[in-house]
Amino acid sequence: MLNNDPMTRPYSSVINPKMLTTPLSHAGNSDIITVTKPYLPPLEEFIPYLEQIWENKQLTNNAYYHQRLEEALASYLGVPYISLFANATVALIVAMQALRVTGEVITTPYSFVATTHSLLWNHLRPVFVDIDPVTCNINPNLIEQAITPQTTAILPVHVYGYPCDHQAIARISDAYGLHTIYDAAHAFAVNDNEGSILRYGDLSVLSFHATKVFNTFEGGAIISHDIKTKRRIDYLKNFGFADEVTVVAPGINGKMNEVQAAFGLLQLKYVDEAIARRQEIDRLYRQGLSDIKGLRLLASYVDDNQFLQSNCSYFPIFIGEDYPISRDELYEKLKQKNIFSRRYFYPLITELPMYRAIPSSNRRNLPVANQMANEVLCLPIYPGLSDEDVLRIIDELVV
Ligand SMILES: Cc1ncc(COP(=O)(O)O)c(C=O)c1O
């Protein structure tokens, strides 16, 4: 049944995605602006995919669309092997199992809870290291001093899609014989001079959650670099089955189903346009907000170098003491104006009950992460956000 409620109506019913870069005027100045809205392709284009699934009668277990999406994504992202998952959280849990990570894992407190929850689900001990104020990513200069004889891996996050200092991290992991698993949940289609940043580390984990740049409603993936590792990951996400009668590990059910995979194939047709519109919004925000006292932006990852590509998945701003009101007052003020920003990532993971007793969670160990968490506000950014709405948000911030 079609949803005619304008508040929850899918974006595609308001704006033709083929015109993403020129949103229709009536889509502008909407009453309520949420921090994000999922991108949805035209519904009628999805029907033939569903008809095919009904005909195939294979709903899951590495069927037709699953295989096609793995091929299409590997080619689009420029990576050798990809294993699709039901979501990124289960993919992170499986990534640790695939590499037989044990003991302690060095990671960042400045992320979504799933990053470190994946360690607890594997009975691994997180060791938190502070972040770099320029990128909000783990500070590689602080990693070495956190290594103990129990350390077996590093779990950095490309926060907001900003690339980690992969060279410094690789130097440390090579020297100490550690695995590196990147939480790349925010890093779909982010490229540096040589290609996708997903090629770094042993494994990278993507999220295709509804709110992400590329979504399959729920979904995720692990990028690996050799066929042996891909096979092990594929066994682990399918209960450990290597063939009909051989179970090689106590695997889990982490499989992506055919409806999600088919939807992903259709989404892929639109993802470049969706990212292009995000980049336009990013530019508009930067023009409007770059000179406000007490308000700091992260440096743009996109510069004139055509090889760099940011996906503009988030637009974080940082509210310092020189700004006339506090971060939380600004958050409330925007809410009063029907603009719903989000404090990603606040509270810090290390402030949560299951992590705060860990010695490395001590605030004195994490001054930058604590400051960033107290100052950050993520502004609305999604392909259907009109120029008028971006200007309306900027107007509220210019004080
Ligand atoms: C950094 C990070 N890691 C992991 C996840 C978990 O992804 P999923 O919702 O697909 O399980 C998310 C967000 O949703 C995230 O932002």
182-206 CB burial, b ≥16 within 10 A, e <16? bbbbbbbbbbbeeebbbbbbbbbbb
Of the residues 92, 110, 112, which should be mutated to test ligand 1's pocket, given the most ligand atoms within 8 Å of the CB? 112
Inter-residue contact 219 to 197 (CB < 8 Å):
no
Residue 112 confidence (pLDDT) above 70 = yes
Structural class in CATH, domain 45-268: alpha beta
Taking CA atoms only, the protein residue closest to ligand 1 atom 5 is 114
Q: What is the pTM of this model?
A: 0.92
**How many C-beta neighbours within 10 Å does residue 337 have?**
13
pLDDT band at 19 (very low <50, low <70, confident <90, very high): very low
Distance 32 CA to ligand 1 centre (A): 25
Q: How far apart are the first and last CA of the chain?
A: 45
**Mean pLDDT lowest among 20-34, 96-110, 138-152, 372-386:** 20-34
Average pLDDT over residues 296-319: 84
Q: Which ligand 1 atom sits nearest the alpha carbon of residue 159?
A: 1
The 10s digit of each residue's pLDDT in 166-208 is 999 999 999 999 999 999 999 999 999 889 999 999 999 999 9
Q: Do domains 45-268 and 270-397 have the same CATH topology?
A: no
Q: Using pLDDT thresholds of 50, 70 and 90, give the confidence band for residue 30.
A: low
* Whole-number pLDDT of residue 14: 32
Q: Which atom of ligand 1 is nearest to the CA of 111?
A: 1
Q: Where are the domains of the chain?
A: 45-268, 270-397
| Residue with CA closest to ligand 1 atom 4 | 114
Ligand 1 mutation pick, 84, 209, 343, 345, max ligand atoms within 8 A of CB: 209
CATH number (3.40.640.10, 3.40.50.300, 3.90.1150.10, 2.40.40.20) of 270-397 reads 3.90.1150.10
CA of 97 to the centre of ligand 1 (A): 18
Whose C-alpha lies nearest to ligand 1, atom 8?
Answer: 88
Mutating to test ligand 1, I would choose from 84, 87, 89 the residue with most ligand atoms within 8 A of its C-beta, which is 89
Which protein residues touch ligand 1 with a CB less than 6 Å away? Answer: 87-89, 111-112, 114-115, 157, 183, 185-186, 207, 209, 220
